[in-house]
Every structure is written in C-alpha cells, then in structure tokens.
Amino acid sequence: MKNIMFIAPPAAGKGTQAELVVEKYHIPHISTGDILREISKEDSELGNYVFETLASGKLVKDEITYQLIEERLKKKDCQNGFIIDGFPRNINQAIEYDKILNKLGYKIGYVISIKMEEKTLEKRITGRRICEDCHSIFNINDPSSAPQVESVCDNCGGKLYQRNDDNLESFQTRYQMYLEKTAPIVQHYQQQNVLYEVNGEDTVENVFKQIDKIIQEN
Ligand code: AMP
C-alpha cells in the first residue's frame, strides 16, 4: 500500500476521509493536529505554547512538527503504508518531509488535494462535532455526516464536543494560513508527479469513492 497525504483547507473533511481509508485499508492515520491537541493538554511550557497557538489558528513552529513526525513515522506500524494529515503545512515543511522520508526509506505515495469553496468550509466549521471517546467526526450542518442523536456518537455512544478553534474567527486565520502557506505546496507535489485532486463538495461517501478510485487505479 502506498502512503497517502491529504492537502485541504480547514474542515474540508481530511479527518473523516482518513477514517474511511483506515477502515478499508487498515493503515495508521497520523494527524499532526491530533498529536498537537494531545500535547496542548500537558501542563508544561510546550503544552501552554501549543494550546495558545492552536486556539489562535496560527501554525506551531516548524521544528516542533519535524520531531514529532519523525518519531511517529519510525514506529513499526508505518512500514506498510500510512496516512499523513495536516503535515506538511508550508513549503519548508514539505522540503523537510522529503528529507525525513528519504532518511526512513519511505516514498511520498499519493498526495490528495481536496478542493472546496470558502462558503462551504465556513458552514462546515461551525457544525463539526467530535467524539470525546473514539474521536469519530460528525457534522450537524451536513445531512450525510450528522449524528443520529444530537451530541451523541453514533459509533460508541460517547459525548460529542466542539473544537475550541472551530469558530468563524479562528477559521478566518486558519483559512488565510492555508491560502498563503499550504496551498503553494501543491506545486511542489505536481512537479513530483504525485498529485491527485478530488472535489470535496459532495457527500462523505462520494468523496471517499473518488479517493478510493485513485488508490485502486494508481
Ligand atoms: P488540524 O487538526 O489539521 O486542523 O490542525 C489544527 C491546528 O494544529 C492548526 O490550526 C495548527 O495550529 C496546528 N498544526 C497542525 N499541523 C501543523 C503543522 N504541520 N505545522 C504547524 N502547525 C500545525
């Protein structure tokens, strides 16, 4: 199985699609956002810095992400493929990622860019809910991914919560960060001939069909 990277604006459904890939292909899902959210709970200087940066919608310092990505990719479960979500977020991280892959003997795999309009993203961001226990992702503004019972996880019955950076103010900063810093890395991967695009303006199921087709056919 080739590795998979998602590049997409905030709330385009990277996490949800990654969960579906994990379910079908049983490869680990590595999300820098998830790892950083765990670090942000720690009562330390690093924990406090990460907590405040995440809440502001800005990016944490590159060096912090390099270390955590390399440590995670060294684990045995990554040897048969993995999904990387949320990294790289800028061109420096993309260049460093090439080096880390090289060092560990891994290939880049599929780079999947999920395209979406800003208006749709705004609607999604305020509706996103996450399970406290199993981390499943729902959206109360999207009938194809709304929970059956309000605030309750369909998968495990856990309580759903809203991320503290899922508000319109933080979204504006995160979206600007995406346009300025993350979108330009698409070209980096186009040049390596590993870029695939999917239309995110569809149901969760149909977006997954587009992704699965790329995996099956390439
Ligand atoms: P995400 O869950 O991918 O939306 O990420 C949530 C937040 O974590 C972002 O708004 C950033 O503050 C931080 N973050 C995640 N990945 C990175 C990264 N590769 N570089 C810097 N900051 C990141």
37 assigned to active site: no
Q: What is the per-residue pLDDT across 195-206, written as a single tens digit (0 to 9) for each? A: 999 999 999 999
Residue 53 three-state SS: helix
What is the distance in A from the centroid of ligand 1 to the CA of 20? 21
What is the distance in A from the centroid of ligand 1 to the CA of 118? 18
14 assigned to active site: yes
Is 22 within 8 Å of 208 (Cβ atoms)?
A: no
Q: What is the per-residue pLDDT across 133-156, written as a single tens digit (0 to 9) for each? A: 999 999 999 888 999 999 999 999
Tokens of 29: 């899902």
Ligand 1 pocket test, candidate residues 34, 60, 179, most atoms within 8 A of CB: 60
Q: Does residue 83 line the site of ligand 1, with CB under 6 A?
A: no
* Ligand 1 nearest-atom number relative to CA 10: 4
Q: What is the per-residue pLDDT across 55-90, written as a single tens digit (0 to 9) for each? A: 998 999 999 999 999 999 999 999 999 999 999 999
What does pTM read for this prediction? 0.91
Cα(82)–Cα(77) distance, integer angstroms: 8
Q: Does residue 57 line the site of ligand 1, with CB under 6 A?
A: yes
Q: Please state whether beta strands 137-139 and 128-131 pair in parallel, antiparallel, or not at all (unpaired).
A: antiparallel
Looking at this protein, which amino acid is placed at residue 77? D
What is the distance in A from the centroid of ligand 1 to the CA of 59? 6
174 assigned to active site: yes
Number of H helices, E strands in the chain: 9, 8
- CATH number corresponding to 2-116+181-217: 3.40.50.300
Q: What is the per-residue pLDDT across 77-129, written as a single tens digit (0 to 9) for each? A: 999 999 999 999 999 999 999 999 999 999 999 999 999 999 999 999 999 99
Instruction: Indicate the length of the chain as a whole number.
Output: 218
The residue whose two tokens read 């186009």 is 190
Cα(133)–Cα(121) distance, integer angstroms: 25
pLDDT at position 138, please? 95
What is the distance in A from the centroid of ligand 1 to the CA of 217? 30
